[in-house]
Amino acid sequence: MATRGGPGGRWPTAAPQRKPLSGLPSLDGPALAAWHALCEALDRLDGPTACQVHPDAHRLWLAEPGDEVAQQRAADGCAACPARQACLDFALAVPERFGVWGGVLPRERAKRLQAEEQAAKEARREGVESEFVA
């Protein structure tokens, strides 16, 4: 189905749609840039993505939280997708907490975001400390 994409429909990744579905938060900054990058990556494809054409796409890519068997099947379906990195970048930029994006399960994305947040906090703290030392 043309408008069901990445992650099964919450954000349509199909090229014709070109923007998030109405009723969703508007995008700006890095999330908007990531959205455009994802659309461009999808434009370069010769055909639809696995999440657009798999007969069980909705059940797998939008599996209930905790259903990691289904989520892993979706992730396996992402393995050969040429838009994979752009798809993951977008999900991390939003950040999208639901669904499988770029072959990465929600739990794994949450861990990555947490690690990035922690690293940013430490960098800020080190910056503040070095101001006092100088």
Interface residues with ligand SF4 (CB under 6 A)? 5-7, 13, 49-51, 61, 77-78, 81, 83-84, 87, 100-103
b/e code 109-121 from CB counts within 10 Å (16+ = b): beeeeeeeeeeee
CA–CA distances in Å: residue 90 to residues 6, 67, 100, 119, 126: 10, 22, 12, 20, 29
- SS3 label, residue 129: helix
In the complex with ligand SF4, which residue's Cβ is closer, 32 or 73? 73
CA–CA distances in Å: residue 59 to residues 17, 51, 80, 134: 22, 10, 20, 56
Minimum Å gap between C-beta 43 and ligand SF4 is: 12
Minimum Å gap between C-beta 86 and ligand SF4 is: 8
Minimum Å gap between C-beta 62 and ligand SF4 is: 10
In the complex with ligand SF4, which residue's Cβ is closer, 83 or 105? 83
Minimum Å gap between C-beta 95 and ligand SF4 is: 15
In the complex with ligand SF4, which residue's Cβ is closer, 66 or 82? 82
